[in-house]
Structure 1
Amino acid sequence: MSELIFFDTLRQGLWISVLISAPILGVALVVGLAIGLLQALTSIQEMTLTFVPKMAAILGAFWVSMSFMTLTLGRYFTDTLLPIIQGY
C-alpha cells in the first residue's frame, strides 16, 4: 500500500468520525448552553442540573442518529476499507 492510499484512507476515516460525532456534540453544546444560561439567570448552582438533562439529550440524539451512524460507517467499510484489504 502506498503512502498516498494510506493518508487518503486516514483522511476519510477522520472525516467520517467528525460527521458521526457532530449530531451528538451539537446537541450536548446546545443543551449545555441552555442549562448554563438557566443557571446564570436563576443563580441555581446544582451539578446534577447540568448532568442529567445533558445525558438525556445525548442519549436521545444518539438514538435518533444511530441509523445515520451505522449507514455511514458501513458505507465507509464496504466502499473504502474492504477493497484495500482485498488488495483491489
Structure 2
Amino acid sequence: MKKPKITLTLVDQKGTRGCHHGHQIGDSFDFDTERGKLCPMAMHVAFPYIDILRYGGTLPAQPDGSILFCCPDVDVINVFRIQVEDG
C-alpha cells in the first residue's frame, strides 16, 4: 500500500502574537519532503493525525471535509489544514 501525500497548510492564526518560528498564513509544507521546515511544536501535534491518516484511519472533519489542528502555543495558536492526496 502506497502512503498518501500529506500537505500541511497554515490557514488561520487565533493568538495575539506572531509565530515564533516565522510561519505565515498560506505557508504550505509537504510532509515527506519539508517536514523539517515546520515548527517542532506544530509537528508534535500533527504527527498523530498524519499517522492515523497514512494507515487508513479517519479523523473528525469540518463541515467542508477539511481536517484542522492547532499549534499548542497559546500566544500564537496557528491553525493548520491537513490535505490528503492518494499516492
TM-score bracket, normalised by the shorter chain, equals: under 0.3
**TM superposition score normalised by structure 2:** 0.28
Q: Higher helix proportion, which one?
A: 1
Q: Higher strand proportion, which one?
A: 2
**TM superposition score normalised by structure 1:** 0.28
Larger radius of gyration between Structure 1 and Structure 2 = 1
